[in-house]
Each structure stands twice: as C-alpha cells, then as structure tokens.
C-alpha cells in the first residue's frame, strides 16, 4: 500500500459517522476504527508519504519513521483502551470529540512539516476541550475555557515560531530545530505548554480532574505525550531541558502529597513522569532518547490505567476526594487489583513496565555524569512511589472504611483496565518487544542485580517512611482544601489587580466627577440625550454626520496628496 492516505483521517472521518449508529453497532464500529487504522499503519512502509503542495510549500502528511511509528502505535492502543473504557457512555458528543481528538494527535505525530503539525495541534486543542465541557456545568465550562485558551496559546507560539523558522531557514520541514534564535525559543515555548513545563503546567492540574470520568482517560493519553513527541523530534539534546525536566520531576511531588482530589494527585504525578521524559530528551544520547520515548509508551498505559481506576471510583461513588473514600476494596475488588498493578508500574517495581523504561533514563543520566540530576530523579522516584504507588490505592481502597458500599465497575471498564494491566506486566516481564520498537537500536539490559537491588531498596524505604509517618500521625491528613499553585497568579492575583485597578479608576472618576460636577452633569445629560442605547461607534449615525465625514476624508486626502 502506498501510504499516501493520512492515518489520522481514518479516525477523524470515522468519528463523523459515529452519530449514525446506535447501540451495539456503534460500539463495534468505534472499536473497529483504531483496529482499522492499526492495520493500515502496519502496511505502510517507512518513508515520506502523502506529500502535497500547498501555498508553495510541500506538506508531508505521513512521515513514517521509527519515532513516529512508536507514538502512532501507542496512540492507537490508547484509543482502543479509551473507547472500550467509554463504551457504556451514551453521549455522542463525547465519543465524537474523543475520536477526533485522538485522530488529530495521531495526525500531528505523522506530520512531517510545521504547517500540518500546527493544524493538527490546534485541532487537538479544540476537540479535547469538548471532553471537559461534556461534564456540563458552570465549573467545567470555566475550566474548559481556561484550558482551551492555554492550548490555543501554545498553538500561537508554534505558529509564530514556525513562521520565524521558515523565514530563517526557508523550509517548513519539522526536523531537529534546537534552541537557536527566537524561532526555536517560540516553538519550544509552544511545545513546553503541551508538555506542562514548570510554570506552564497549571492547565494540566486545572483541567484534567474536571473532565468526565472517561474524558480524563482520553486526555491523559494524548496532549502531553504529543508534547513529548514534538520535543523528542525537535529538541533532542537541548541541555536546558535536563534542568527543566529535573525541576518538573521534583516539584509536583510536594503538591501531590497534600492534594486531596485523587485524580488531581494523578495529574501531579503525570507532571512528574513527564519530567523524567524531558530529562531524557535533554540528555539526548541514544539511550536517553530511547528511555524517554519508551517511558512515554509505558506511561500512557499505566497512567491511563490509574486514571481508569479512579474514573471507575468516581463513577460508582460520585466522589474522588481522598478524605471521603476508603475501604472500597470490598466493593470493587477487581478495580483495586488493577489499580495496584498501575501503581506498581508507575513506581517502577521490577517486573512492571515503569521499571524497564524509567531505569533507561536514570542510567543515561548516570552515564553522562549528571550526579545532581540523578539524585533529584532518585528522590522523585521515591516520591512517585509515595504518592502514586501508595497514596492512591491506600486512600481509595483501604485506609479507614468510609462505609461506602457500591457496585463493581461496569464490565467494559474492567475489560479496558484488565488489558492495560496485562500490558503493564507484559512490558515489565518481556521488555524486548518494546525495545525492538524504539528509534535507536537498543543495547540495554534492565534486569541486572544492581538495578533491582537499588530500586527495591528505594521502594522499601519509601514504603517504610510512609508507614512510619502514618503511624506517628505526622503524614499530612487528607483535608478538603485547595492547593495554591502558580496559577494563583493569574486566577486570583491577576483578577485582584484588575479589580483594584478598576476600583482606582472608579475612584478617580468619582473624584473628577465631584470636581467637575456641574460640567459633568451637563456633559452626561448631553451624552444621554444624544445617545441611543449604544456608544459612539455602535449607534447609527445621522446622515448629516456621515456626509460630514465624507468631506473630512476628502479634505484630508487632498491635503496629504498636495503635501506629499
């Protein structure tokens, strides 16, 4: 097969037909789409396909190489899992939006030029926000608006940087860009927003916990990983990223420990995992890049699994607050089990997927002699185990019994979680299959004695710390509270500044009005008299003043022409 047809369109056009079907047929149809796309992708040979000329530039709609293929496969897998997980939902908008969103993320992965990347980039933003709005409420409307503004802003940076890049190099090919000049900086900023760089990350914690239970699973798979893909493609080996990633891996830990909303805890831990990947990309050696993309691959599965289990809890109990949950293992044994597999994977237990991927990044950092970064990452690993590996299952399923007795999750959710859990273990036990897909020839053995011992020590001491802290009552209790993050600056402080500015303005105006009271009254009376409900520009002008303007314009033109 030639491979000229963009694989993304199978999902995007396929999504458009979803409303035509109902019931079982719709379920079967939606499951068929990712399988069809996968089958097509298998048949496409490596190389550049689907090249079209537009506006004097060559667009490459299908750049198939090992990097894009890896992300293509995992995205399609994520679509399949998310679709299975969402089968019980009877909301056409969510299904359509989810498929278009996934399709455009896949399109972005295979885009070989900055222009089609930009188009898909914006499409992911617009389609994903529908998954947040689908929760339908004042709150999610506001959150969705904030989310989509940030996402579109990211696209604007990409567009501006892309234009500069094109001006500078004369090509819009999306290859290695590097942090040279303003073009690279702008593009990096655009990618950075998607990958949730520190201080650009708030949209993630703000929005993901507010989507529908099934919507969050969709969201968790694509947007940030698309950012990681774009970074790996354009900024591999950019040293600044090592520090950015180190910071990213470390600081969300503190927030995650004190956060009460368990889906928000997962959002913080996602940010922390992204930090590992960014470090890998920043190091830029073959091993590090392999590690970064392999970790992205594994993360999509285990983070999806964790979000799925928390989504099931939210669906059945109606709450996701750590302080209100507990003791659910009696009611939801399967979900508990799957959640613990996800928790073990994210904590990088040996024989689970996180272990075989994260250790590549750690080894790469150690090999490059980045001792400080390596230590911070080690601390971050312990922290992950702490908040994602122990805290999530502990507070949701064990802890003190909240008295909630509910049904087990719907069967389709269990199937999706089961597949994801099986993959987590599968990758952990047989890492060779994943390694074979990596962009560079893998030369790495995860199961050495020193790796395993070091990791187990880390995990056990972390568990010990948790147990001691819980026993002694020092561990921060789960409180109904809100974490202050840096979005405070634009959500609260910014609003306050505007408000105080407005107050000051009003006071000035009041002062002025007092000073010129008499004149002000005549003036405002004049305005009121001559004003219809609208202002100067809004109202219909009388014919006379229109004609006057014509004369003014004529005189102005004559003057300018004679002088000019």
Rounded to the nearest whole angstrom, what is the least distance from the CB of residue 160 to other proteins in the complex?
8
Count of CA atoms in the C-beta half-sphere (13 A) of 501: 6
Segment interacting with other proteins, rule: CB under 8 A, options 202-210, 270-278, 475-483, 532-540: 532-540
Of 52 and 199, nearer to other proteins (C-beta) is 52
Task: Give the C-alpha distances (Å, rounded to integers) separating 298 from 246, 440, 442.
Answer: 19, 17, 16
Other beta carbons within 10 angstroms of residue 120's beta carbon come to 25
Of 84 and 158, nearer to other proteins (C-beta) is 158
Residue 538 within binding range of other proteins, rule CB under 8 A: yes
Calculate ∠ Cα 179-267-155, nearest 5°.
Answer: 40
User: DSSP of 245-256, one letter per residue?
Assistant: HHHHHHTHHHHH
Whether the CB-CB separation of 330 and 405 falls below 8 Å is answered with: yes
Segment interacting with other proteins, rule: CB under 8 A, options 75-83, 170-178, 258-266, 555-563: 555-563
Give the residue, chosen from 31, 119, 258, 378, that forms a contact with other proteins under the rule CB under 8 A: 119
Residue 443 within binding range of other proteins, rule CB under 8 A: no
Rounded to the nearest whole angstrom, what is the least distance from the CB of residue 243 to other proteins in the complex?
30
The residues, any chain, with a CB within 8 Å of residue 259's CB and separated by 6 or more, are 265, 268, 483
Which of 421, 287, 461 has its CA nearest to residue 358?
287
Instruction: Give 57's strand partners.
Output: 54
Which of 204, 199, 148, 245 has its CA nearest to residue 489?
199
Number of residues that bind other proteins (CB under 8 A): 30
Outline where 23-90 has alpha helix (H): 23-43, 66-85
Other beta carbons within 10 angstroms of residue 22's beta carbon come to 10
Segment interacting with other proteins, rule: CB under 8 A, options 21-29, 198-206, 384-392, 550-558: 550-558
Segment interacting with other proteins, rule: CB under 8 A, options 155-163, 358-366, 407-415, 429-437: 155-163
Binding mask 161-190 for other proteins (x = CB under 8 A): --x---x-----------------------
Rounded to the nearest whole angstrom, what is the least distance from the CB of residue 88 to other proteins in the complex?
24
Helix, strand, or coil (residue 316)? helix
Whether the CB-CB separation of 346 and 303 falls below 8 Å is answered with: yes
Segment interacting with other proteins, rule: CB under 8 A, options 81-89, 222-230, 427-435, 542-550: 542-550
Give the residue, chosen from 48, 156, 415, 513, that forms a contact with other proteins under the rule CB under 8 A: 156
How far, in Å, CA of 476 to CA of 474, rounded?
6
Between residue 43 and residue 82, which ones bind other proteins under the rule CB under 8 A?
54-55
Residue 118 within binding range of other proteins, rule CB under 8 A: yes
Of 4 and 445, nearer to other proteins (C-beta) is 4
Rounded to the nearest whole angstrom, what is the least distance from the CB of residue 163 to other proteins in the complex?
7
How far, in Å, CA of 22 to CA of 29, rounded?
10
Give the residue, chosen from 422, 441, 456, 558, that forms a contact with other proteins under the rule CB under 8 A: 558
Binding site for other proteins (CB under 8 A): 54-55, 118-119, 122, 141, 156, 159-160, 163, 167, 534, 537-538, 540-541, 543, 546-547, 549-550, 553-554, 556-558, 560-562, 564
């Amino acid at each position: 097969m030639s491979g000229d047809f963009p694989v993304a369109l199978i999902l995007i056009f396929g999504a458009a037909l979803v409303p035509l079907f109902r019931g079982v047929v719709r379920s079967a149809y939606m499951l068929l789409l990712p399988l069809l796309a996968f089958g097509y992708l298998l048949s496409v040979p490596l190389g550049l396909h689907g090249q079209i000329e537009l506006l004097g530039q060559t667009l490459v709609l299908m750049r198939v190489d090992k990097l894009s293929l890896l992300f293509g496969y995992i995205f399609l897998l994520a679509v399949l899992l998310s679709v299975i997980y969402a089968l019980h939902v009877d909301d056409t908008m969510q299904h359509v939006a989810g498929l278009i969103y996934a399709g455009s993320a896949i399109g972005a992965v295979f885009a070989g030029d900055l222009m089609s990347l930009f188009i898909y980039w914006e499409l992911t933003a617009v389609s994903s926000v529908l998954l947040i709005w689908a929760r339908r409420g004042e709150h999610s409307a506001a959150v969705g608006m904030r989310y989509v503004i940030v996402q579109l802003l990211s696209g604007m940076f990409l567009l501006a940087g892309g234009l500069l890049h094109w001006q500078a190099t004369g090509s819009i090919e999306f290859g290695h860009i590097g942090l040279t000049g303003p073009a690279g900086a702008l593009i990096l900023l655009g990618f950075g927003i998607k990958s949730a760089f520190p201080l650009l990350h708030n949209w993630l914690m703000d929005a993901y916990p507010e989507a529908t239970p099934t919507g969050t699973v969709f969201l968790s798979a694509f947007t940030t990983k698309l950012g990681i893909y774009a970074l790996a493609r354009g900024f591999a080996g950019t040293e600044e990223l090592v520090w950015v990633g180190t910071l990213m891996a470390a600081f969300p830990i503190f927030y995650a420990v004190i956060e009460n909303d368990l889906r928000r805890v997962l959002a913080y831990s996602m940010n922390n995992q992204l930090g590992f990947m960014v470090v890998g990309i920043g190091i830029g050696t073959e091993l590090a890049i392999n590690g970064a993309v392999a970790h992205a691959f594994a993360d999509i599965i285990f983070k999806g699994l964790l979000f799925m289990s928390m989504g099931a809890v939210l669906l059945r109990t109606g709450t996701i607050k750590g302080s209100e949950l507990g003791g659910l293992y009696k009611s939801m044994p399967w979900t508990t089990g799957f959640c613990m597999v996800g928790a073990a994977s994210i904590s990088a237990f040996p024989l689970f997927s996180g272990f075989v991927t994260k250790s590549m990044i750690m080894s790469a950092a150690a090999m490059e002699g980045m001792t400080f970064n390596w230590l911070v990452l080690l601390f971050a690993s312990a922290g992950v185990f702490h908040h994602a590996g122990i805290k999530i299952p502990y507070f949701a399923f064990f802890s003190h019994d909240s008295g909630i007795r509910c049904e087990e999750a719907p069967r389709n959710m269990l199937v999706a979680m089961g597949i994801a859990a099986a993959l987590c273990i599968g990758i952990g036990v047989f890492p060779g299959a994943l390694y074979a897909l990596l962009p560079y020839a893998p030369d790495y053995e995860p199961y050495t004695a020193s790796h395993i011992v070091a990791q187990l020590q880390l995990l056990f001491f972390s568990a010990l710390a948790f147990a001691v802290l819980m026993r002694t009552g020092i561990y921060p209790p789960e409180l109904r509270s809100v974490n202050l993050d840096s979005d405070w600056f634009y959500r609260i402080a910014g609003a306050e500044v505007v408000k105080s500015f407005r107050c000051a303005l009003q006071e000035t105006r009041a002062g002025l009005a007092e000073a010129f009271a008499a004149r002000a009254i005549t003036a405002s009376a004049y305005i009121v008299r001559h004003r219809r409900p609208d202002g100067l520009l809004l109202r219909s002008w009388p014919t006379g003043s229109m004609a006057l303007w014509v004369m003014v314009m004529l005189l102005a033109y004559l003057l300018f022409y004679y002088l000019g």
